[in-house]
Amino acid sequence: MGLPGKGEAWPPADHTARYSRMKTAATWYAGSPAQLGDLYGSVASRGQEGVLNRALRWFWSTPEQGPTEHKLHVPLPRDIAVMNSELLFSEGVRFVVQHTRFTEDGTPDESQDAEVAATQARLDELLDYSNFESVLLAAAETCSPLGSVGLRIGWQKSAGLKMPVIMRVDADAIVPEYRWGQLTAVTFWRTASVGSVVYFHLERHERGRIFHGLYAGQDGNLGNPVPLTDHEMTRDLAPLVDEQSSIALVDDETFTAVSVPNALPDPEDRHSLAGRSDYSPGVLTLFDAIDRTYTSLLRDIEDGRSRLIIADYMLNSNGAGRGVSFDEDQHLFTRVKAAPAEDGTNPPIEQVQFRIRVDEHLRTLDNLISRAVRMSGYSPDADQADSGGQQTATEYVGKARRSMQTRRKKLRYWQSLEGLMESLLKVDAAYFGSGVVPLPVRMEVPAAVQPSMRELAETVSLLRQTEATSIAVRVRALHPDWDQKDVDAEVDRIQSESSVVDPATFGLPAPVRANSDGTSGEQDE
């Protein structure tokens, strides 16, 4: 389809609601009280019928609750985003190059082993160059609040790149396009303002081609297409594009970008395939209630400071017009106008101590936080054992069942990275002369919680006692990260050692051979 035409709305009109939701989610993720106040204060100030009443229910839009600087924000939204990232990829991820030739019995053709090994080594080098594990963790973190995240391949040699890299692009700078449930194009965009003119750089990835376009317009409208040389952010791209303002890729199947949805469907737009945020409207109300409760607790602490009510005349005068003072523990005293009693005695010094409702606030906070975490798709308090002691992997997985289910569902969307890895190998071979053969790639993600060696050993011991599993199964249970060749080699070593030493007689005297006449002979050496 290519680039959009003159004067089109940007982001496109059918993405306006999604971008509005992303702006709200991004503000909660950033966690700035000033930004939260501006976000909900601007909604309340519109004065539209119905909108005003709804907005005034939000803690961050109510001036009677105090100015923004007196309100406190609990950064639970960011914690949930980090939780999503760590749950998906904290144990790392491996991209394994696959064979394309097989024998008649379906096993990989050994004649292709050297080719696969060379491609695997180059892929590992490419991912290390991109620092891809860190890119993936950051992508999973922003994917949680914004509902999706983009990844694209870049290889501009004039920028000093020695090999292609994979970069993250957040969802509020992406317009994905789908057809028949499949991603067909991704447009990444950025802006730069020069006076009253807003320049838009659109980078559209389709299968087999990348388009670059520069527009001079205003907020919300692309305006007129202009040459790439008109602005510094696209000037170095001008020599790379053809007459269609595009770059042809290796073949028509190469797709150098993906948009990964956080989860589907989106209840607010069931027809969209872009992805939904972990911050649903119900979760946002809980975030707001948590901040209201925490601010109330701190206000209780502020109001509950100990005070002594003391007569004004009992304080030291600092002279005319200079007031009075009392040096020792002055923060305890509050002045009141009072005169000595008629009998000449001083009025009593009254102590005031307001009640601080700590337990009530903390119980409310615990309930609200647990509900918010659970509604976001995760298990609250799974990181802590009931007794406070260390948990086994089995105990943790049992407690974190909801989180584990969420992880399994979300990882299915990230399998689109397998195609991106094959495109990375193609770009590397075509533009950097890697010399390796681009092959299919499979993504392998380890379990979120790795069992300890003791747990694995106990499992293997039980399997051996039941005599219901082979040596290969037990080796794979103990070393789940090994490939088939490593497992086979270990099985051979175990069988070889078992034939030399009989565990039933290990450490006992050698048996005595009997002579033909029935008398005992020499022991076996």
DSSP string, 132-153: HHHHHHHHHHHHHHHSEEEEEE
Beta bridge partners of 96: 442
The pLDDT of residue 446 is 85
Nearest alpha carbon to residue 409 among 266, 270, 263, 269: 263
Residue 472 has pLDDT above 90, yes or no: no
Model confidence band, residue 361 (pLDDT cutoffs 50, 70, 90): confident
Residue 286 has pLDDT above 70, yes or no: yes
Burial of 351 (0-12, 13-18, 19+ CB in 10 A): exposed
Q: Which two tokens stand for residue 376?
A: 């976001």
For 381-421, how does the pLDDT look when each residue is reduced to its tens digit (9 = 90+)? 654 444 444 554 444 455 678 888 999 999 999 999 999 99
Percent of the residues in the chain that have a pLDDT greater than 70, as a whole number: 71
The pLDDT of residue 133 is 96
Burial of 274 (0-12, 13-18, 19+ CB in 10 A): buried
pTM (two decimals) = 0.78
Residue 37 in contact with residue 86, Cβ under 8 Å? no
The pLDDT of residue 115 is 96
Could you tell me which residue, 186 or 356, shows the higher pLDDT? Answer: 186
Residue 27 in contact with residue 41, Cβ under 8 Å? no
d(CA 465, CA 448): 28
The pLDDT of residue 49 is 40
d(CA 202, CA 220): 14
The pLDDT of residue 380 is 83
For 79-134, how does the pLDDT look when each residue is reduced to its tens digit (9 = 90+)? 999 999 999 998 889 999 999 999 998 889 999 999 999 999 999 999 999 999 99
d(CA 315, CA 325): 5
The pLDDT of residue 300 is 72
Mean pLDDT of the 501-511 span: 52
Mean pLDDT of the 34-61 span: 66
The pLDDT of residue 328 is 47
The pLDDT of residue 400 is 73
- Which residues, 6 or more positions from 67, have their beta carbon under 8 angstroms from its beta carbon? none
According to DSSP, the β-strands at 512-514 and 441-444 are unpaired
d(CA 435, CA 437): 7
Mean pLDDT of the 454-469 span: 61
The pLDDT of residue 468 is 62
The pLDDT of residue 385 is 40
d(CA 206, CA 385): 49
The pLDDT of residue 384 is 41
The pLDDT of residue 509 is 55
The pLDDT of residue 401 is 83
- Rounded to the nearest integer, the mean pLDDT of the chain is 82
The pLDDT of residue 183 is 96
Could you tell me which residue, 403 or 471, shows the higher pLDDT? Answer: 403
